[in-house]
Chains A and B, each alone.
Chain A
Amino acid sequence: MSVRGPLIVLALVASAASLGWAVAKENRWSLPTPLKQAFQSEAATPASTPPPEPVPANPLAEPAPPSDDALGYMFMQVADQYEHTSRYPSYSVPLSRDQAAAYAGNHFDPITLPLSNGGEFTVSLEKFRFTRGQDILVVASLSGPMVVGHTMSARLESATDGTGAGSTTLTSAEDGFLDGIMDSDVPPGEYRLIVEASVDGKPLRHVSTLTIEPDLGDFEGIDSTHVSGNDLVIPFQFDARETGAYALSGHLFANGQPIAHLTIEQRLDNRSNTIELKAHGSVLVPHAAEGTMTLKNVQIRRLPARPGDRTDYAFGPEEGYQFSPPDLDSLEDTSARDPLSEQRAALLKSMAGKF
């Protein structure tokens, strides 16, 4: 029940989203100025990658003008940016804070159903995937000029065959919200959450989707970390219930900042396994990472063995795992692209060369 407050806040934020969006549309371009000035004065725009490495200053050299081919110029930029991002090994890629939120996974955005009279029916969950047995807190709100009941019902229904899988009643909480808890001790799979309100004496249903995940095993934590080559090796213990192909991932935080997404695919046996996540020097050195670090947003996926199989998910504790790394002074900010990425980067550069 401790998550109820934040969820309600989340729902409030969702309800106010359109207002916030409108307020946020400030015009930062009030004067027509030369493009260079205009773009360079603009706050950093998003990029899928960190900015390219600085080019050594040469006061005598004018930057080369861009190609006359505007789209060709864009492909050239893609090639340059890809060359930059591919310097990171695929097991250790850098993260911005916003990217970290996205790749943390298991996020549920409140779903709002707009009504013809201007009202809205919104349902929020704390996450998209629930491990079997976890409580599902459902928070709902209904606004608009109509007569609504004091309670709502909520039920789970299998998305595969429509089988019912439990129900509850949502009752008034605070600030006009209704909430209730559902049991998730049902067979793993995809479910539809159907929240039903009585509006002007007739049923109105809100439907959203969630998944119930099997118990994949126990997250046992981090063993002693060490440096190997240009990597900080983070041995993670996971006791798997079943043998299979798995992918373990997590976000490495240093000084409270997310600095890298670490991942590895590995075949696990149905026992305690050591999975070695690695953070490459290229993501650690630029952040002067030292002192206590945290591995957060740990998730493990049991990968589909054959096409048509389902991917199963399990998630580590919210607080993550703190550890003290060894001396990292030997690590270097060097390129470590894998051979395929290197070929790809070279092909893209070659292709862009004509622009």
Chain B
Amino acid sequence: MKTKTAIVAAATLLSASLLSTSALAQLAGHNVILVHGFQPDNLALPPPDLETVKNNGADYWRTFWLARSDARIDWGSDGRVEGAIAQQAYQQIRSISEQGLCNNFCFIVSHSTGDLVTRYILENQARWLQSDGLPPLKILAALDFSGAGGGTELANLAVNVAYNDSWYLAPVKAAVRAFTGIDPKPDKLGVVSDLQTNAARNLAVAPKDIPRVRLVAGGSSYGGITKPFIAGTDDGVVPTHSACGATSANGIDSCVSNLSLGGKVSGQNGPSALYFNHYPVLMNAGASHSGVLGSETGNISVPVVNNTTLNGLRVDFASRTYNQRAWWQWWGAGSQYIEVPGSASTDMSSLVYNTLNN
């Protein structure tokens, strides 16, 4: 009886959270499901129940997307993807399926580790739901902000710090403490273990037919103390190789070889290849890891154009290119930049939302 009451309470909680924001929701006419990222507080204080996980999930998105979503898949960062996280996620996936919220195709909006969780969900949800007699979720596309599906070097270091008290690791420890919020212990790493670059890139990486739209930041987090430990450029937590969807964990500077994160037309160390159906569309050198979720303005967003996207067209972007001279440069045309006009006056989430909902 106790169990039955608990199940009913959980179901009520899930239904309430699924429907609570639907009045303002939808993106281009399709329901929106949110999958949040790593929540460091969960390592120090593991959420005791699903209600706490759901409350944390709502708080995570409150800046912008919460009021524009129809459902969420929340999970505790103290768990593992192929463990408690999958179990928590599936309870909510089941509920979304039962309510038919994705019968007309949904958007998934993910942030950070939510990219990895989403990838694992997409790999397995159809089989699990069908075995429960439920229809699989029909996903139109995932919008992945600062996607950590390729892992982060900070997680590699966090696992090392958990086993070390050597003073040789003092700078590393400071960076890891900023990232995880704790001094990690071997049995308190939670999803950080999944974020190790080798672990992440060996989990559910098969090609999928759902487009992953990549939105990439390159700003600073934690006062910049994490940046020296991440390969290539990064947003303070996630390396660009992961956020772009590059097929290797080698450090890169940009999602393309001809345009910097800041939009400068210049030779860049870009990825040698991208995962199947991964499409970087926007980069922003100034946005921080969490700032992409709607809290930061003043940073220019850059369309990820390359000679494949150009497809032989003459793309002048006349209103989107300009020459910028350094203060000391009195001659010459300066450097050439590309940007999304007006993007500095808004944030990346608003830009994406307003463009698709225009």
Contact = CB atoms under 8 A, between A and B. Distances in A.
Interface in B176-216: 186-187, 193, 196-199, 201-202, 204-211, 213
A116 B198 contact: no
Interface bracket on B: 35 or more
A310 B82 CA distance: 6
A32 interface: yes
B207 A261 contact: yes
Residue in B127, B170, B246, B251 with the greatest tally of chain A CB atoms within 10 Å: B127
Nearest to B315: A66
A98 B272 contact: yes
Given A35-B315, A38-B258, A209-B159, A340 B186 contact: no
A348 B306 contact: no
Given A202-B166, A307-B124, A39 B305 contact: yes
Interface in B8-31: 28, 30
Contacts of B198: 107-109, 111, 128, 208-209
Interface in B32-52: none
B56 interface: no
Given A71-B352, A93-B276, A99-B275, A40 B307 contact: yes
Contacts of B310: 36, 39-40
B277 A82 contact: yes
Given A25-B267, A78-B211, A162-B186, A48 B277 contact: yes
B145 to A, nearest CB: 14
Given A49-B277, A93-B276, A71 B303 contact: yes
A224 interface: no
B307 A74 contact: no
A101 interface: yes
A190 B166 CA distance: 25
Residue in A39, A192, A354 with the greatest tally of chain B CB atoms within 10 Å: A39
B269 A46 contact: no
A19 interface: no
B245 A48 contact: yes
B62 interface: no
Given A204-B166, A307-B89, A309-B82, A103 B205 contact: yes
A319 interface: no
Interface residues of A, number: 109
A73 B304 CA distance: 10
Given A45-B270, A51-B308, A85-B276, A99 B127 contact: no
Contacts of B282: 71, 74
Contacts of A38: 258, 265, 336
Interface string B134-164: 0000101100000000000000110110111
Nearest to B281: A74
Given A39-B258, A70-B341, A249 B303 contact: no
Contacts of A190: 193
A311 interface: yes
Contacts of B206: 103, 247, 249, 261, 263
B93 to A, nearest CB: 9
Contacts of B317: 35, 66, 70
B275 A63 contact: no
Contact of B209 (A35, A303, A341): A341
A114 B89 CA distance: 36
Contact of A308 (B84, B323, B358): B84
B331 interface: no
Contacts of B186: 157, 162, 192
Given A35-B316, A35-B336, A304-B82, A162 B187 contact: yes
B274 A46 contact: yes
7 contacts: A26-B267, A35-B315, A39-B307, A98-B273, A109-B198, A205-B166, A311-B82
Given A39-B258, A101-B247, 5 more contacts: A66-B317, A102-B205, A114-B228, A245-B127, A354-B358
Interface of A: 17, 21, 24-29, 32, 34-36, 38-40, 42-49, 51-52, 55, 63-66, 68-75, 77-78, 80-82, 85-86, 90, 93, 96-99, 101-103, 105-109, 111, 113-117, 119, 128-129, 146, 157, 159, 162, 190, 192, 194, 199, 202-209, 211, 245, 247, 249, 261, 263, 265, 303-311, 338, 340-341, 343-344, 347-348, 351, 354
The 8 closest A-B CB pairs, nearest first, are A98-B273, A102-B247, A307-B90, A28-B267, A45-B306, A74-B281, A48-B274, A307-B86
